[in-house]
């Protein structure tokens, strides 16, 4: 959510899109960027669960030590490194 175009560009590049294709794909994808939506749209779209666009909301879910333990029981310890994210669950 913080870098919509950058993230999609990396995905499109990974899949072999040319720069022209990436430019076109970003224009198409822009209509789905929730930062371009007004408050009323966000409130009425049931698909969007984080209507406040609070990027730290996920931290409340992982404040529970039992949930963290279950997460680490499912996923490998290097999961965040593998997908290119910092490990905030330490």
Most confidently predicted of 7-16, 32-41, 65-74:
7-16
CA dihedral 42, 47, 50, 51 (to 10 degrees): 10
What digits encode the pLDDT tens for the residues 35-64?
Answer: 777 777 777 777 766 656 666 777 777 788
pLDDT at 73 over 80: yes
Residue ranges per structural domain of the chain: 1-49, 56-90
| Cα 28 to Cα 23: distance, rounded to the nearest angstrom | 9
Tell me the pTM: 0.52
**pLDDT reading at 77 higher than 70:** yes
Q: Which residues contact 86 (CB under 8 A, 6 or more apart)?
A: 80
Least confident range from 26-30, 32-36, 46-50: namely 46-50
Taking a C-beta distance cutoff of 8 angstroms, is the pair 24, 3 a contact?
A: no
Is the distance from CB of 85 to CB of 79 less than 8 angstroms?
Answer: no
């Amino acid at each position: 959510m913080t870098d919509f175009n950058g993230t999609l560009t990396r995905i499109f590049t990974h899949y072999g899109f040319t720069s022209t294709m990436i430019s076109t794909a970003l224009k198409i994808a822009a209509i789905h960027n929730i930062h371009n939506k007004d408050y009323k749209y966000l409130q009425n779209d049931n698909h969007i669960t984080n209507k406040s666009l609070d990027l730290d909301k996920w931290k409340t879910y992982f404040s529970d030590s039992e949930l963290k333990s279950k997460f680490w029981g499912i996923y490998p310890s290097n999961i965040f490194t593998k997908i290119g994210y910092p490990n905030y669950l330490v």
